[in-house]
Amino acid sequence: MGESLMEPRTGTTLPAPGGQRGTEPRQAAGAPGRRGPIGTQGDGGVAPAEGHEAVMLLERARAEVDPVLRAALGSLPGPLRRIALYHFGWERADGSPAEGGSGKAIRPALVLAAAAALGGPEARAGAARAAAAVELVHNFTLLHDDVMDRDATRRHRPTAWTVFGDADAILAGDTLQALALRLLAQDPHPASPAAAARLADCVIELCAGQHADTALERCAPAEVTLDGVLAMAEAKTGALLGSACAIGGLYAGASDGEVEALDAFGREAGLAFQLIDDVIGIWGDPSRTGKPVGADLAARKKSLPVVAAFASGTPAAAELAGLYARPGDEGDLDHIALTVERAGGRDWAQGEAADRMARAMQQLARAVPDPEAAGGLLALAEFVTRRTG
Amino acid sequence: MGESLMEPRTGTTLPAPGGQRGTEPRQAAGAPGRRGPIGTQGDGGVAPAEGHEAVMLLERARAEVDPVLRAALGSLPGPLRRIALYHFGWERADGSPAEGGSGKAIRPALVLAAAAALGGPEARAGAARAAAAVELVHNFTLLHDDVMDRDATRRHRPTAWTVFGDADAILAGDTLQALALRLLAQDPHPASPAAAARLADCVIELCAGQHADTALERCAPAEVTLDGVLAMAEAKTGALLGSACAIGGLYAGASDGEVEALDAFGREAGLAFQLIDDVIGIWGDPSRTGKPVGADLAARKKSLPVVAAFASGTPAAAELAGLYARPGDEGDLDHIALTVERAGGRDWAQGEAADRMARAMQQLARAVPDPEAAGGLLALAEFVTRRTG
């Protein structure tokens, strides 16, 4: 699954999950007052939102968190700073300034939106450092995962290890983890120790997820279970989205129950995102994803739709096993994609994504019963799972 | 320089620094009351101590910190726990229990000794978690440095990456850093946020030191300056010993000035240790160090005595440059060692080590003016720089 788990591809619209699952049209985001009650959408059916509210929230998060990030990175010793600024897309490899490219700030936006949802503007304003810490952890995992997965491209640029070498990319990642936890340790906010403990816990879960991912990729398809891949995806993708929401809640002084519900909301939304990202990885639009369609299949990755197809017990599953046993045969990607689809992998993934989003909505309603207050978090969850921005 | 910077070799006695520098015999450690005033030994000359006190302090630290470490490692997800327990020497590669081997606990002992020196037994008792955190950070850097340096042996066992692969060793290291900072974040002690910030800062410095080390090893000898190598050694070795002492001080409620003096004490002692370790790496006894004499020379490492020899401007320096330009020629290690010695590298390193120890003593006297209270820290500093245990 690799890097697609960690960094959303940009600007791709996914067909709304449909089929046998009921859909219930909802108002577009961007007008919170017109949004229906959260958690009442039935079996996960939610019509595509426009995403304007999410885009605004992401831009605002970027504007609030970037100064904290730039100050934190600016405090690093020269060589490590250079690698980090390259990775963030703020410098070129030669150290000259570059424009943008540092990703969408989804995780910082979730921290800030969760803080705002439960504590209003004041809590939001107090959580900028925590939001930056979460973004630093995310980028630490990207740097290390790219080394381990030998991924050569990230955000349409060569990955840090291809430019600076493995050792420097590992060291820059180590540094970003330390920087994240230093930001929290130096934050006088009363929630910062609990947030730091939660973020450190999340790092451990992210590492376990990455371990499981690399282990799964070494397994024969028959040895891989759907539960195993879902657990891996939850650890690798859901955990940090959940932690972002939970940390925002902590900074708003939320109760334990609210914090856990926020965590579960982020985890379920993260799994929905991953399912959809895997669908895009097989059937998406290459001009919009920045990654050729079929790359996951060409690499014989055991992404969620593929594992579901293997587990289907259909004749197509048997055919797929044969196709997956012939690595390197890239001429046949359309045929493999069709076989995954015939084995039910695509339908399963879209249905499961809709289920996960429904569960996310239920958790959100538990954490933030007021739909108006929950609007930002909902818009962000819809944004990451639909990518209609 | 590689792993020798990070993990002291065991049980080797170094000749006391001598030559042009004055030595002033001192009482053996183990009887704090008989120790002379600290910081009054003149130009760094201190006679070898027996090290019994240090051995007792290390054993006591091990006994106090191991339960915290084992509980922390025991909380990890299965696969990461297994790698960590292997690295600590507590399990074999197959997961069966192993005896000992987890290193000497010098850093935890420094944390506890510093806390005791400034806050008595109560402060010491409250600092066990912080001591474990420092040891976890140390081991995180060992795991990653071994990957980067391709070192295959650590504590007389195959390194984690040779057993579990690069990815798992990187992930286990990431996990130990997170575990260290989680221990501090969950510590209700009022000093824990300041300690966490300091430890995170130290991680960044350790990474900068490792970066400098790998960069230096890629440089031609003529491009390497003695100041550059000393700065690298301070970051890579001195920083964590300094942080260990400073964190112990924080847990004793020490003043800013005392904490900084403790940090400086640990740094200077760390540099003295590194200088001596590099001397042993060239001229030491292989049966006692666990590493063949001359391994650093065989690898053409730019260790401190070698860089000093290059910088000497002597005819021997020119000869050494020629010898270093022929990598792989291992038959001539005795001749290279002799050339480093003729260029003054050995004398310089021993003299510089004595100077650094003198400065360490001065800083210790600043932090802990009562020689009796400072006895533990002094014994540990002598132990790491003499290895007479």
Please indicate, yes or no, if residue B29 is contained in any of the structural domains: no
Residues 101-140 of A with CB under 8 A from B: 140
User: What is d(CA B286, CA B301) in angstroms, rounded to the nearest whole number?
Assistant: 17
Of A179, A200, A208, nearest to B185 by CB-CB distance is: A200
Of A79, A186, A212, nearest to B211 by CB-CB distance is: A79
Per-residue pLDDT of chain B (389 residues; tens, 9 = 90+): 333 333 433 333 333 333 333 333 323 333 333 333 323 333 333 344 467 999 999 999 999 999 999 999 999 999 999 999 999 999 999 999 998 667 889 999 999 999 999 999 999 999 999 999 999 999 999 999 999 999 999 988 999 999 999 999 999 999 999 999 999 999 999 999 999 999 999 999 999 999 999 999 888 888 899 999 999 999 999 999 999 999 999 999 999 999 999 999 999 999 999 999 999 889 876 556 555 667 788 888 899 999 999 999 999 999 999 888 887 666 688 899 999 999 999 999 999 999 999 999 999 999 999 999 999 999 999 998 875 33
Please indicate, yes or no, if residue A38 is contained in any of the structural domains: no
Q: Which of A7, A302, A1, A296 is nearest to A143 (CA)?
A: A7
How far does the CA of residue A203 sit from the closest CA of chain B (Å)?
A: 6
Residues 281-300 of A with CB under 8 A from B: none
Do residues B124 and B114 lie in contact, with contact meaning Cβ atoms separated by under 8 Å? no
Q: Is A26 exposed, middle or buried (0-12, 13-18, 19+ CB in 10 A)?
A: middle
Please indicate, yes or no, if residue A336 is contained in any of the structural domains: yes
Please indicate, yes or no, if residue A135 is contained in any of the structural domains: yes
Tell me the residue type at B356.
Answer: R
Please indicate, yes or no, if residue B125 is contained in any of the structural domains: yes
Q: How many CB pairs under 8 A join A and B?
A: 137
Q: Is B231 on the interface with A (CB under 8 A)?
A: no
Residue keyed to tokens 């006895």: B375
Q: Residues A155-161: contacts with CB within 8 Å, 24+ apart? A: A155/A7, A155/A89, A155/A101, A155/A102, A155/A103, A156/A101, A156/A290, A157/A89, A157/A101, A158/A93, A160/A83, A160/A86, A160/A87
pLDDT band at A32 (very low <50, low <70, confident <90, very high): very low
> Which of A136, A199, A204 has the most B C-beta neighbours within 10 Å, making it the best mutation to test the interface with B?
A204
> Which of B140, B149, B166, B182 has the most A C-beta neighbours within 10 Å, making it the best mutation to test the interface with A?
B182
Q: Which of A189, A213, A164 is nearest to A3 (CA)?
A: A213
ipTM score of the complex?
Answer: 0.86
Residue keyed to tokens 């003016």: B369
Domain residues for the domain of B260 are 46-386
Please indicate, yes or no, if residue B257 is contained in any of the structural domains: yes
> Which of A75, A143, A182 has the most B C-beta neighbours within 10 Å, making it the best mutation to test the interface with B?
A182
Please indicate, yes or no, if residue B264 is contained in any of the structural domains: yes
Please indicate, yes or no, if residue B139 is contained in any of the structural domains: yes
CATH of the domain at B299: 1.10.600.10
Number of structural domains (chain B) is: 1
CB atoms B200 and A211 under 8 Å? no
Nearest CA in chain A to B176: A204
Q: Is A231 on the interface with B (CB under 8 A)?
A: no
CB atoms B203 and A174 under 8 Å? yes
Q: Is B243 on the interface with A (CB under 8 A)?
A: no
Average pLDDT, chain A: 85
CB atoms B178 and A175 under 8 Å? no
